[in-house]
Amino acid sequence: MGVLAARLRSFLQTIRDEALRPALRSSAAWTFAMLWIISATYLAWTGHTGISLFALGKITVVVVFTILTVGLTASASGRPDNAQQATRSTRLWLHLALVVAVIALTGQRGMVFHGVTPAMFNHIPLWSPFVQFLEGAGQRLGQAGYLSNPNYLVNPLLMFVVPLPLLLLLGARWRSLGFERGWRTWRVVVLWSIAYVGYWLFNLITGAWSVGRLGHKLVSNTMQNGFFEEFLFRGVLQTRLSRLISPAWALVVSSLGFGLWHIGLDAKYLGGDLLAGAALSILSQGSTGLAFGVIFLRTRNLLACSVIHVVVNTT
């Protein structure tokens, strides 16, 4: 009992010292909170009170599990990150420019896909023909029986295969992009996944889902988002910003960017209203991005946040 009590005290102390106190003292955390409140208030004011209440429940769960993640990864923040420290600031700005361009362009593609793009952004020289070429190639592979979804080709190429060699040519180091050795990765994966896996089992047992449907959803989320989105937003954007501004602001900015990157999906859900879509993006995917960002910071690589990303989307 004495050992368990000591571990519990250590766990609670870690939460206090590495989660609660830093968050309460962080201007970045308070900025995110204010933007979240403004977004929730706007949606409630425009008649989407149910969405705001659901988002309140979601952010509560995110905060609780994020705090538990910090407790499970005690001392992780104290490990040195030599790969990032060795990178020159000029190169970091080049990396940042590249990833922001990729995020903006792929975000535009999402808006086109969901039919909510402002007319002036419907066609972008060079980019739009390139995307159409890749989509056509994906469709041809699908017709030949090699792919069930063109995005299984397009998303990995646009979000990982193309930007990765460019980043390396610009001086990025492999380890600094989220590929260094992890820290307490699987205990964090279990923490975030257990409820979702229980939900899967419930659906399988009750017959609501088949094994094939679950497998298809897992493959679809793995091939379309999961790792590839985590690479862009956590592996590149968050790590570059951490060195250029601060880890706290990098976490908040990358989370907000991740949220707004989904504006096409959210605006479509709200009838094409881009402002309401932006508010929903901050409430929903922005909150999720905050959790993924903390998971990445605490585990030190992309494995945990990528696996959890796929698990969360497979609902």
The answer to pTM > 0.85 is yes
Q: Per residue of the chain (315 residues), give pLDDT as tens.
A: 677 877 788 888 889 889 889 999 999 999 999 999 999 999 999 999 999 999 999 999 999 999 999 999 987 544 444 444 445 688 999 999 999 999 999 999 999 999 999 888 899 999 999 999 999 999 999 898 888 899 999 999 999 999 999 999 999 999 999 999 999 999 999 999 999 999 999 999 999 999 999 999 999 999 999 999 999 999 999 999 999 999 999 999 999 999 999 999 999 999 999 999 999 999 999 999 999 999 999 999 999 999 999 999 998
Residue 306 tokens, joined: 């990528």
What's the first-to-final CA gap in the chain, in angstroms? Answer: 39
Q: What is the CB-side half-sphere exposure of residue 263 using CA atoms within 13 A?
A: 24
Query: Under a CB-based contact definition with an 8 Å cutoff, are residues 159 and 229 in contact?
Result: yes
Buried b (16+ CB within 10 A) or exposed e, 216-241: ebbebbbbbbbbbbbbbbbbbbbbbb
Q: Is residue 61 part of a domain?
A: yes
Closest CA to 153 of 166, 164, 167, 142: 142
The single residue listed with the structure tokens 């989307």 is 313
The count of other CB atoms within 10 Å of the CB of residue 19 is: 19
Q: Is residue 135 part of a domain?
A: yes
Closest CA to 284 of 250, 258, 307, 309: 258
Q: Is residue 8 part of a domain?
A: no
**Structural domain harbouring 255:** 19-73+85-313
Closest CA to 64 of 15, 4, 7: 15
Q: Is residue 201 part of a domain?
A: yes
Q: Is residue 78 part of a domain?
A: no
In one letter, which amino acid is 81? Answer: D
In one letter, which amino acid is 197? Answer: V
Quote the longest CA-to-CA distance of the chain.
Answer: 67
Q: Is residue 126 part of a domain?
A: yes
Helix residue spans in 238-301 (DSSP H): 239-244, 247-261, 263-269, 274-281, 287-299
Number of domains in the chain: 1
The count of other CB atoms within 10 Å of the CB of residue 290 is: 24
Q: Is residue 241 part of a domain?
A: yes
Please name the residues in contact with 106: beta carbons below 8 A apart, sequence gap of 6 or more: 158, 159, 232, 261
DSSP code at position 122: S
The single residue listed with the structure tokens 């995917």 is 285
Q: Is residue 80 part of a domain?
A: no
